């Protein structure tokens, strides 16, 4: 079993839909990251969470430390949101441990 599990692996949505991507982890963490990767490879850090909820524009990230679970929500999705979204946790060794990513495609 992977230490960081994401679901779904692939997600297709219509423009305007509300999107949720889930992440579960099995290790102790000091922080959880949500990352966005566009075709071509560049990675952008969207959120870093250690508790509660954060919001940035149409993006909302939540974390439940007791349940070892985090969600990334996108409201009013747009084709430019199409990307791979990656959940990563910082474990006790200092490095990030990554989920396999969720490939999101938003159709106009």
The residue from 3, 17, 68, 98 that contacts other proteins (CB under 8 A) is 98
101 near other proteins, judged by CB under 8 A: yes
Please say whether the dihedral angle defined by the alpha carbons of residues 97, 100, 105 and 106, taken in this order, is positive or negative: negative
C-beta separation of 19 from 11 below 8 A = yes
66 near other proteins, judged by CB under 8 A: no
Task: Give the list of residues 6+ apart from residue 78 with CB closer than 8 angstroms, or none.
Answer: 15, 58, 106
Ramachandran category for residue 3: left, alpha or beta (phi over 0 → left; psi -120 to 50 → alpha): alpha
Q: How far is the CB of 44 from other proteins (least distance, A)?
A: 7
Using CB under 8 A as the binding rule, the residues of this chain from 18 to 47 that contact other proteins are 30-31, 33, 35, 41-45
The footprint of other proteins (CB under 8 A) covers: 30-31, 33, 35, 41-45, 48, 50, 86, 88, 90, 93-101
């Amino acid at each position: 079993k992977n230490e960081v599990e994401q679901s779904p692996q692939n997600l297709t949505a219509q423009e305007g839909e509300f999107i949720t991507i889930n992440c579960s982890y099995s290790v102790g963490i000091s922080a959880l990251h949500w990352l966005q990767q566009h075709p071509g490879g560049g990675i952008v850090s969207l959120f870093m969470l250690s508790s509660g909820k954060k919001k940035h524009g149409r993006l909302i990230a939540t974390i439940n430390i007791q349940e070892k679970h985090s969600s990334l929500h996108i409201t009013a999705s747009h084709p430019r949101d199409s990307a791979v979204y990656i959940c990563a946790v910082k474990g006790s060794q200092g490095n990030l441990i990554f989920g396999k990513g969720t490939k999101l495609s938003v159709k106009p």
